[in-house]
Amino acid sequence: MSITLWTWIIVGITFAVYIGIAIYARAASTGDFYVAEKSVHPIANGMATGADWMSAASFISMAGLISFMGRDGSMYLMGWTGGYVLLAMLLAPYLRKYGKFTVPQFIGDRYYSQSARVISLLCAIFVSFTYVAGQMRGVGVVFSRFLNVPINTGVVIGMCIVFFYAVLGGMKGITYTQVAQYCVLICAYMVPAIFISVQLTGNPIPMLGFGGSISAGGAEILGDPAAQGKYLLDVLDGLHKDLGFAAYTDGVRPKIDVFFIVVALMVGTAGLPHVIIRFFTVPKIRDARSSAGWALFFIAILYTTAPAVAVFARTNFIKTVHNVEYAKAPSWVKNWEKTGLIKFEDKNGDGIMQYTKDKATNELDVDRDIMVLANPEIAKLPNWVIALVAAGGLAAALSTAAGLLLVISAAVSHDLMKGVIMPNLSEKAELMWARGGAAGAVVIAGLFGIYPPGFVAQVVAFAFGLAAASFFPAIIMGVFNKRANVYGAMTGMIVGIVFTAAYIIYFKFVNPSINNPQHWWFGISPEGIGTLGMILNFVCMYVISKFTKEPPQEIQELVESLRYPVERTTGETKAAGPSAAH
């Protein structure tokens, strides 16, 4: 069967499963809609968290970025995995013990201020929309290639699917849908990686094949008999040098920028509201810790495989396009050309594709977001494997998009309407507002997907930087510093997110021609500026809190209670902030 037919079959089956789960687990109350009535098993929640956290950036774009950036791309691996550990250890258990639905609700109660709550929910909406733009773009890329529809049409199809199970099912439906999506995406990621690892190195474990030697069969596939017995990374380093690139295993990005990006991704992970809310869906506080551990296990399977996928894809890509006659180019090149994500310009008129670092002689323009999706085609794997990867990419993008849309809808209904504007709002009316907020968010997310501000992983990096600069200091100081008060929190959040957003907007949109290390502040790129925004936030919070009125006594006692071990007799300590005072 053709790739398109296989894709329709596999994607159709998976979508039917997602929709069926949404109908079966549809939300009947606000508790269902926001936190699945705190009834999710830790293992299931860990799997759902893994799917929620491993977005289109992780599945589609991360290995593509690593394949083009080489060692510098490892900052995405370090930042996102380290960030999850930070979240699991420093924040999740305490926020779960606090027992509220949303991060803005925690900030509003902890800082005894409706104004702080409003600022927090605006940050949540801003960060979530930035993040969801990358997810919807990933959906469009998958549909455009494998279902032969324009990218914008693919985004609209993705909007319809997410609209159905996010609006109908809420967190309850999304959670069990994400369990199914995790199973799809991890199989879709691992199966081709195993295939290609066996092809090139004879080792069925991609993580080991990544550092292994090329087998006789692998040398034949690469068309280079001399490669047999050489380390795969050495061969790729040689290919890079021949084409004018830096060695794949060398880093060329300024070290300060790599450090700042890693930190921004780490603390941004810990501040992302759609991940934090997952720890409110389990029955007990100890279940939050347990589900965090399970999620890390499920996440590690993909993340330890990503560097191998990047190397396999990069090696096969160079070998199949450089110095190859365009008329005899592999079918995958022509297939992806139709999407506009690969472009060939015959600059010297010889009909032969030249892929080099030199822009004057390079004739191939390749979108980095296609590398994982095109990888099975480049390696000439069976059509069903190619279709499975398409289904996995959709699962990764849709699972995270659904989680983000739920955060936005909760911010509108629970934090804005019920928490600020209409405190006496009935549960039925609040549920209607939640579904209406999710519906509106789907439409806006689709527009972001049609007009994206960059590569999928790049857009997501911006979201993490914004989360790092806004949420993280307010949450961490709220848990560990009794003296942190409303004035410091509000000022810090505003300064952090405004500074970070302004820096990103200036270098990416206002003046992109100077977006390079020579013009960046201290050599820090827009992807890493969230770390500096976070530092400014912390400084503002600390200084202003120190020289202004300290929080009420009951707030300080609340902060102390959050860090005490859970009472064995009661199983869980419920902490609830006082009514907002401002």
Count CA within 13 A, CB hemisphere, residue 74: 13
439, 167 in Cβ contact below 8 A? Answer: yes
Read out DSSP for 45-94? HHHHHHHHHS-HIIIIIHHHHHHHHGGGGHHHHHHHHHHHHHIIIIIHHH
Residue 257 CA, chain-centre distance (Å), reads 20
Burial category of 510 from C-beta neighbours within 10 Å (exposed 0-12, middle 13-18, buried 19 and up) = exposed
The amino acid that residue 359 corresponds to is: K
77, 522 in Cβ contact below 8 A? Answer: no
Residue 302 has pLDDT above 70, yes or no: yes
Residue 582 has pLDDT above 50, yes or no: no
pLDDT interval class at 575 (50, 70, 90): very low
pLDDT interval class at 204 (50, 70, 90): very high
What is residue 275's predicted lDDT score, i.e. its pLDDT? Answer: 72
Count CA within 13 A, CB hemisphere, residue 61: 23
List Cα–Cα distances, 472 to 479, 532, 537, in angstroms.
11, 13, 9
Q: Which residue has the higher pLDDT, 155 or 543?
A: 543
Residue 378 has pLDDT above 70, yes or no: yes
pLDDT interval class at 82 (50, 70, 90): confident
Q: For residues 49 and 101, what is the distance between their CA atoms, to the nearest angstrom?
A: 16
Burial category of 483 from C-beta neighbours within 10 Å (exposed 0-12, middle 13-18, buried 19 and up) = middle
The amino acid that residue 59 corresponds to is: F
User: Which tens digit of pLDDT belongs to each residue from 390-438?
Assistant: 888 888 777 777 777 777 777 777 777 777 787 777 777 877 787 777 7
User: Which tens digit of pLDDT belongs to each residue from 305-351?
Assistant: 999 999 999 999 998 888 888 888 888 888 888 877 888 888 888 88
What is the rounded average pLDDT of the residues 465-472?
83
What is residue 492's predicted lDDT score, i.e. its pLDDT? Answer: 92
Residue 29 has pLDDT above 60, yes or no: no
Class of domain 3-230+242-313+381-465+552-562: mainly alpha
pTM above 0.85, yes or no: no
Q: For residues 516 and 524, what is the distance between their CA atoms, to the nearest angstrom?
A: 9
Q: For residues 419 and 568, what is the distance between their CA atoms, to the nearest angstrom?
A: 33
Cα angle at 541 between 536 and 545, to 5 degrees? Answer: 150
pLDDT interval class at 96 (50, 70, 90): confident
Domain coordinates in residue numbering, the chain = 3-230+242-313+381-465+552-562, 481-550
Residue 404: partners with Cβ closer than 8 Å, 6 or more residues away:
128, 129, 131, 132, 135, 274, 445
Q: For residues 85 and 295, what is the distance between their CA atoms, to the nearest angstrom?
A: 10
What is residue 283's predicted lDDT score, i.e. its pLDDT? Answer: 75
Quickly count helices (H) and strands (E) in the chain: 25, 4
